[in-house]
Amino acid sequence: MNNEIRMAQTLPVALENEVFDLRDDALAFLDENQIDLALVKITKAWELLPESKFNTSCSYLILCDLAGILNQAGKHLEAKAILEAWIHDLKTSGYKIYETIPFILLGETFLYLKESELAIAAFKEAVHYGAGKRDFSEYPDLYFEIAKAKIIDLEEIQRLFNKETSQRLSLSSKENVIELSEEISGQIESLSEEGNVYFEDEAYEKAILVWKRALNLIPKPQHTFAESLWLESSIGDAYFMQKKYDEARFHFNNAMDNIEEIALTNPFILLRTGQLHFEAGAFDEAKEFLLRAYMLAGHEIFEDSDGKYFEFLKENVKLES
């Protein structure tokens, strides 16, 4: 197997924007529990992707959303088919497999289909390809426990999954979606722009103070608002520029915890997180996050950083020439 990194096919900007607009529409319908309409939008987004559909700059997000929405719509066999096709593409690409989420999603789909034994195999395969607790963190704890063979009884696995599913449905039906008022959103935007000016002038402490004022306007739990991801990562970046790595790590970890936006698909956040692990001497974690950033954005993401980070990655991973 080729140990080089498989680079995703970059889409034209207009097409990428169209795909992500459809995805945004799908997620908006999902928030309103209009699952059928969400499925229509995310399916259209998937259909727009050119060949190879499984390896474009948009494929990962669209496939994750498509599989999840299919399962929510009760179309588990369709979810199974798309996930198995995705995994087949990964396994036959000739490149080393780094993406483990499709295996986790397939395991979840098998649980919906009451195929506990196949679910166990899928979760274990995710671990085989490098999935750790962080990769399972957005899913029920049950999945990681199955992957690590802490629960092996098939009937017990299915019972716990059914219980977990019922609880999630109950919480979803009772959940009140809180949105920021226009006034608060306007204040956050104004403070964010003020912080940007300070940051560009390298007045990092002033930028941090302004951004923290903006962050304090967001109600708790802040990790449920998309605005907090940008503010946390901006504050973390300002600390990073001053080589205050502990403070930077705290805020980038907060950004990683955001559940409204997926930090693991943001190349800049992945880059900074990898660099912070490097500075802490956690080189395995540094390699993981720097590699993720490279896979999403290529060499260009490293251009404004100290060359030592990209040299470290090249020394530890065979990159595509």
User: pLDDT digits over 242-255, tens only?
Assistant: 999 999 999 999 99
Which is more confidently placed, 5 or 80? 80
Nearest-angstrom CA–CA distance, 22 and 24: 5
Which is more confidently placed, 132 or 265? 132
Contact of 269 with 252, CB cutoff 8 Å: yes
Residues in the chain: 321
Contact of 98 with 291, CB cutoff 8 Å: yes
pLDDT at 180: 87
pLDDT at 24: 93
How many other CB atoms sit within 10 Å of the CB of residue 119? 25
pLDDT at 176: 46
The CATH superfamily assigned to 13-174 is Tetratricopeptide repeat domain (1.25.40.10)
| CATH 1.25.40.10 domain range(s) in the chain | 13-174, 182-316
205: tokens are 């402490």
The alpha carbon torsion through 227, 229, 231, 233 (nearest 10 deg) reads -160
Q: How confident is the model at residue 321 (pLDDT cuts 50, 70, 90)?
A: low
Which is more confidently placed, 298 or 65? 65
Best CA proximity match to 295, nearest among 6, 2, 4, 3 = 6
Which is more confidently placed, 176 or 116? 116
Q: How confident is the model at residue 295 (pLDDT cuts 50, 70, 90)?
A: confident
CATH of domain 182-316: 1.25.40.10
pTM for the full predicted model:
0.63
264: tokens are 């693991």
How many other CB atoms sit within 10 Å of the CB of residue 17? 11
- Judged against a pLDDT cut of 70, whether residue 192 lies above it is answered with yes
Query: What radius of gyration, in Å, describes the C-alpha atoms of the chain?
Result: 21
Contact of 32 with 75, CB cutoff 8 Å: no
- Judged against a pLDDT cut of 60, whether residue 170 lies above it is answered with no
Kindly report which listed range (39-48, 189-198, 221-230) carries the lowest average pLDDT score.
221-230
CA 240 from centroid of its chain's CA atoms: 22
Instruction: State the average pLDDT for the chain.
Output: 90
